[in-house]
Every structure is written in C-alpha cells, then in structure tokens.
Amino acid sequence: MMTKQPGNACACGGAPKLIFACSGAADVGAIADQAARKLTKDGAGKMYCTAGIGGRVSGIMTTTESAARILVLDGCPLNCAKNSLEQAGFKTFEHLQLAELGMEKGLTPPTPETIARVAAAAMAKLAD
C-alpha cells in the first residue's frame, strides 16, 4: 500500500516488485508500456515511473531503492529505460528488450497478442 509523504516521497508497505517500461513513441514502446500495465493488472508487480528515475524524483528513487525486484522493459535496442536506471545508479535488475522476442521497431503493431507475449516473457523474468 502506498501512502503520500511530505516532499512527494513514497512509503510502500513491503518490498514491491517494480516494472519500468520505456513507453517510447514507437510501436515497440507502446507494447512495452501496455505489457507493464498488464503485469500490474495481473498482480505480477507494479508499473513505476521511468521518467521519475530520469528526473531523480526523491520519492521514486527511494521506493525503487527498496524494491524486492526490478524489471525493465525496453522496446528497441536503444535501451532507454535500462540506461535511465543505470545512470541513476541502479545496477541490479532484470531486463527484457523486445528485440529478444523478435519484435522490430516500426514493424510490430501493439496487438493483444504481442502485448501478451511480452507480458509472459516478463513474468518469467520476475519469477526467476
């Protein structure tokens, strides 16, 4: 359960499994975003704010530091979400890049099937 703290800090009960998606403008970014939302809806973890990591928002950084597990979903080989977490000092996380599943930027529409396929692969990484 998340409660608001002064200064935009978060206090979460227990150690959450956090999911960061690139959510980029390309089709594969949309797939990564929708897969993260599906994983959250299915109870596998909680989608969290990648932009907050990039902006070094204190509450988001603190909650991420206390995460039980972190999963990063990147749509394309630029690995923007992974790079954002690494540049913020996070080194221990699972990473899934959609090209590993044969999905190509500009050629992979965000269909229920592609979203489910990414969610299943991501779920396996969270379960390891």
Count of structural domains within the chain = 1
**pLDDT, tens digit, for every residue of 5-16?**
334 444 445 689
The tokens for 30 are 């949309």
Domain ranges, residue 116: 13-127
Helices (H), the chain: 27-41, 50-54, 58-65, 80-87, 112-127
Report how far apart, in Å, the C-alpha atoms of 17 and of each of 36, 71, 83, 108 are. 12, 8, 19, 27
8 Å CB contact between 118 and 28: no
**pLDDT, tens digit, for every residue of 76-91?**
999 999 999 999 999 9
What is the Cα–Cα distance from 4 to 86, expressed in whole angstroms? 26
What is the Cα–Cα distance from 21 to 118, expressed in whole angstroms? 11
**pLDDT, tens digit, for every residue of 9-67?**
444 456 899 999 999 899 999 999 999 999 999 999 999 999 999 999 999 999 999 99
The model's confidence at residue 127, banded by pLDDT at 50, 70 and 90, is confident
In a domain, 100, yes or no: yes
In a domain, 4, yes or no: no
